[in-house]
Amino acid sequence: MNFTPVANSTASYWLSEPHRLASFCSSATVPKQVDIAIIGTGLAGVATAYHILKNSDPQKRPSITLIEARDACSGATARNGGHIKIKLASLKDWYEKHGVDAAAELVAWSEAQRHCLQKIAEEEGIECEFQVRRSFDMLFDEEHAVGLKSWLTTRQKKGVTWLKDMQWVEGPYLDRITGVKGAVGAFSSPAISLWPYKFVIGLLERVIELGATLHTNTPVESIQNPNTEGSPVILSTSRGEVRANKVVYASNGYVAGLLPQYRRVIVPILGQNSRIVPNQATLDRLSTIATTFNFHYSTAWVDYLNPRPDGAVIHGGGGRSLAPDDRSGKGLNSRFNSVDDSRLLNDQVAEDFRAFDEQHFYGWENSEAKVGSTWTGVMGITKDGLPHAGRVPGTSNQWILARFNGGGMLLIPTMTQGIAKMVAQGEELEDTNIPAQFKTTEARLSNIFTEISE
């Protein structure tokens, strides 16, 4: 399996307004020596650099270089849905696997992510169409809806405080309340939406102002790790070698290409996203959709939707549109264990998004909705459904934050604060805000996808 980012990736709408830093290099070659090298310039890598530099003594800031295989912020962050929320199904699953205290922690974590991004956007003056919203989980399967409602209302009756901002919605006016036709129930929760690329590239601009260097289109080709106390990690790149006293791996679905111990542990998987645009008459007649959505077709298949201020929508996911073999990893169009975001999942996915929006949104019935653009992106998944964060097992000077199972925006923002403290201040994960379940350990490295061969 080749984990190298492909050169001709599909064109994401979020990348349609490239920043001046998109293909920027601070110098013709990478620096020979740095305190910290960060591999990856999505939200995980850039926010980690930001917190390290922002919280360092200006006279003693460490030297940091960020290294990116393609353009800056051209991976998962610039290919996702652009909203942050917690799905009821995810919360229920977390509760059942990890207990009531862990579920409360997950809700608090979700709130912290939204507040963290809002604080940074406001403090740094980043223009990224940041909006505080509500979101609906729309349930189209009766059995699924009944189960989720029962679980939610039982806990609300018991006075579970961490559910106070969440609400079950059903009844004869459900369609009008949500603006979506045909669902049997819905779950309302807080959310934010933003243009993710503009947020991260704006933050990257600030990181460079604070002294970091940037090298885009500079793939890391190999890593030499003597793993002796005080010895630097040697990164061989297409622009030369850099010796880093510390390394942060923030390349998510690609990380196993650099850290072989994560093969079959963090596995890349493709998702597809689209921008759906109604005709001008519809745009002129209707106000912009006010909430974000997840559409639950069954317990297994869910899509997401984020309305744009211009009246178009970002609609993504696509698993339900695939043939069974493509879903399982056996088909020619399989999305499992693939980093090939130069191809679409199949030709039907975007058309399914378009048809759903036209059929289910009030006012879109005669909208002549079209697929403005469609693209794929690489996510990282794990067998236990949890991210890997912290010191890479068996190393003294390498850290990882990766495998967000398609929910990176909900997991990354404050995680980077904890990683920054570990890297810059020598703290252990247990001393940070990062949940203990996220810690990367030798035991978790044995939790592999056995269906994947070496």
pLDDT in tens, 28-67: 999 999 999 999 999 999 999 999 999 999 999 999 999 9
State the average pLDDT for the chain: 94
Distance of CA 448 to the CA centre of its chain: 21
* pLDDT above 60: residue 330: no
Task: Look at 3 and 454; give whichever has higher pLDDT.
Answer: 3
Predicted confidence at residue 282, as pLDDT, reads 97
Q: Which two tokens stand for residue 17?
A: 């307004």
pLDDT at 403 over 90: no
The pLDDT assigned to 333 comes to 56
Position of tokens 């975007």?
350
pLDDT in tens, 56-71: 999 999 999 999 999 9
pLDDT at residue number 321: 80
Q: Where are the alpha helices (DSSP H) in 312-452?
A: 324-328, 348-360, 408-425, 442-445
* Residue 300: pLDDT band with limits 50, 70, 90: confident
pLDDT score for 318: 87
Task: Tell me what the mean pLDDT of segment 294-302 comes to.
Answer: 93
Count Cα atoms within 13 angstroms, Cβ side, for 420: 22
pLDDT reported for residue 347:
84
Q: Which of 119-133, 226-240, 291-305, 367-381 has the lowest mean pLDDT?
A: 226-240
Closest CA to 378 of 257, 252, 211, 200: 252
What tokens were used for 376? Answer: 């794929």
In percent, the amount of the chain with pLDDT more than 90 equals: 85
Q: Does the pLDDT value for residue 107 go beyond 70? A: yes
CA distances (Å), 184 to each of 9, 56, 248, 293, 334, in order?
38, 52, 45, 15, 31
- pLDDT-derived band at 325 (thresholds 50, 70, 90) equals low
pLDDT at 324: 63
Contact 66, 214 (CB under 8 A): yes
Report pTM: 0.96
pLDDT of 27 higher than 70:
yes
Tell me how far apart the alpha carbons of residues 188 and 169 are, in angstroms, rounded to a whole number. Answer: 7
Q: Span 388-397, mean pLDDT?
A: 96
Q: 107, 265 in Cβ contact below 8 A?
A: no
Going by pLDDT thresholds of 50, 70 and 90, the confidence category of residue 438 is: very high
pLDDT band, very low/low/confident/very high, at 82 (cuts 50, 70, 90): very high
Q: Which residues pair with 316 in a beta bridge?
A: 273, 304
Q: Give the confidence band of 230 by pLDDT, cuts at 50, 70, 90.
A: confident
pLDDT at 18: 97
User: What is the percent of the chain where pLDDT is above 70?
Assistant: 97
DSSP letters for 157-217: HTT-GGGTT-EEE-STTHHHHHSBSS-SEEEEEEEEE--HHHHHHHHHHHHHHTT-EEE-S
Q: How far, in whole angstroms, is CA 173 from its chain's centroid?
A: 33
Tell whether the model's pLDDT for residue 328 goes beyond 90.
no
326 pLDDT tier (thresholds 50, 70, 90): low
**Mean pLDDT across 16-25:** 98
**pLDDT bracket for residue 407 (50, 70, 90):** confident
The residues near 39 (Cβ < 8 Å, ≥ 6 apart) are 45, 67, 68, 220, 235, 247, 248, 249, 250, 251, 258
Instruction: Give me the pLDDT at residue 331, please.
Output: 53
pLDDT above 80 (res 166) = yes
Angle between helix 100-124 and 88-98 (nearest 10): 130
Q: Identify whether the C-beta of residue 214 lies closer than 8 Å to the C-beta of residue 208.
A: yes
Provide mean pLDDT across the span 362-370.
Answer: 96
